Amino acid sequence: MSVAVTGGGPGGMLLGYLLARAGIDVTVLEARGDFDRDFRGDSLHPYTLELLDRLGLAEDLLRLDHFKARSFRFHTPAGTYRCADYDRLDTPFGYVALMPQVRFLDFLAERASALPTFTLRTNAKVTGLLEDDGVVTGVRFRGGELETSVVIGADGRFSTVRRLAGLPAEPLGATTDLLWFRLPRSPGDPPDADLDLYFGRDAYVGVLGGVHDWQVGYSIEKGSYPALREAGVEPIRAFLRERVPWLADRAHLLTGFDRTTLLSVDISRTERWHRPGLLLLGDAAHVISPVGGNGILMAIQDAVAAANRLIPPLRRGEVTAADLAAVQADRVRAIERVQADQVRVERRAAAARARGRGTAPPALLRFLFAIPALRTRGARSNAYGPFPPQLDESLLVS
């Protein structure tokens, strides 16, 4: 039996690798000619690093340039609060590795392509599904057709496969968009700046460390981008000078909106992730907002759950609707919990904006951050997510 995975993101590439390690014929179809995207998620959590270590991949991956984020902090007008200490976790990977996603995907593609049952097709945008009496039997893509036993839709938040399969996603209530840009590192930057949020009255800024620069995300009310463009970038530069003073000397480098990328935040989920012959994973099934930086983590865990459930029936020669449904059943509780937490954050931010009382976390939460054990608990929750699946490594012996 064979599998087509549409979308060469982290979840799709990892699932392709795992299936090929198990001796399953798998083709990953990537719409673009390469994996090079700007401002895609760059966070590799301890769960992901531990998984790659068990697969014998982590050591080589971590030879590539990356930034080790060991803590997560909130900066408010009332003070600075550490809310997660990853280096307190019982793991050899006590940090979030911030690595350009293109490097991670290129690495996975290289390792997967060394396996005899793996094929990567680039410039292969999916244009249709092959069906027989309601069962998906393959895909049409730019340049050809591919008949397969199972189609995995892992083609992201704007999933073509989801649309073609008639599995709509229901929005759950995002209220914020993010404007991303980069600023260069300086030798005098705070050594403990890793993953930081800086809160103001009407907005917050997220700063993510990198080897050579900082990724900066400026929050705006959903739908307000046209008005922001009309006002120009000076209000953003002013926010940096006031709330992130160590970046003030570089604020002028944000010269215009051509230096930015708008990320329209979405939180949504399909009620059903599968049809006979087809399964949706990652953002194709459930869009995760950037809150917590765990979109990649959820996609990686989807891939693990899918490998656990699908490798045995693929080897037997028949993947049933129950096998596909089991993947969703394994993952849906975790996704519902993560998205519920994100919706609460969105609603709190929207209410704060409406009251004009600022976007900082509640005072009680800031008090709890002072307790080291709770910072460790917060780090563990973010590092592994709820109900993390464990890969059945015995399945990889073909």
Cα four-point dihedral sign 342, 344, 346, 348: negative
Pair of tokens at residue 90: 């019982």
Indicate the residue type of 321.
A
Question: Does position 39 have pLDDT exceeding 60, yes or no?
Answer: no
Q: Give the pLDDT confidence of 216-245 residue by residue, as tens digits.
A: 999 998 889 999 999 999 999 999 999 999
Pairing state between β 2-6 and 67-69: unpaired
d(Cα 218, Cα 205) in Å, to the nearest integer? 5
Residues 224-242, buried b or exposed e (16+ Cβ, 10 A)?
ebeebeeeebeebbebbee
Q: Where are the domains of the chain?
A: 2-69+98-172+266-352, 176-221+223-263
What is the pLDDT averaged over residues 128-143?
95
d(Cα 296, Cα 289) in Å, to the nearest integer? 11
End-to-end CA distance of the chain: 14
Residue 360 pLDDT grade (very low, low, confident, very high; cuts 50, 70, 90)? low
Q: Give the pLDDT confidence of 257-316 residue by residue, as tens digits.
A: 999 999 888 899 999 999 999 999 999 999 998 877 789 999 999 999 999 999 999 999
d(Cα 129, Cα 56) in Å, to the nearest integer? 35
Residues 2-39, buried b or exposed e (16+ Cβ, 10 A)?
bbbbbbbbbbbbbbbbbbbbbbbbbbbbbbeeebeeeb
Q: Give the pLDDT confidence of 308-349 residue by residue, as tens digits.
A: 999 999 999 999 999 999 999 999 999 999 999 888 877 776
What is the chain's mean pLDDT, rounded?
90
CATH 3.30.200.20 describes domain 176-221+223-263: no
d(Cα 380, Cα 45) in Å, to the nearest integer? 10
CATH number of 2-69+98-172+266-352: 3.50.50.60
Pair of tokens at residue 376: 């460790």
Distances (CA, A) of 66 to 94, 146, 182, 210, 259: 14, 37, 16, 7, 23
What is the pLDDT averaged over residues 342-371?
67
The residues pairing with 75 across neighbouring beta strands, listed in sequence order, are 80, 198
Residue 390 pLDDT grade (very low, low, confident, very high; cuts 50, 70, 90)? very high
- The pLDDT score that the predictor gives to residue 191 is 85
- The pLDDT score that the predictor gives to residue 95 is 94
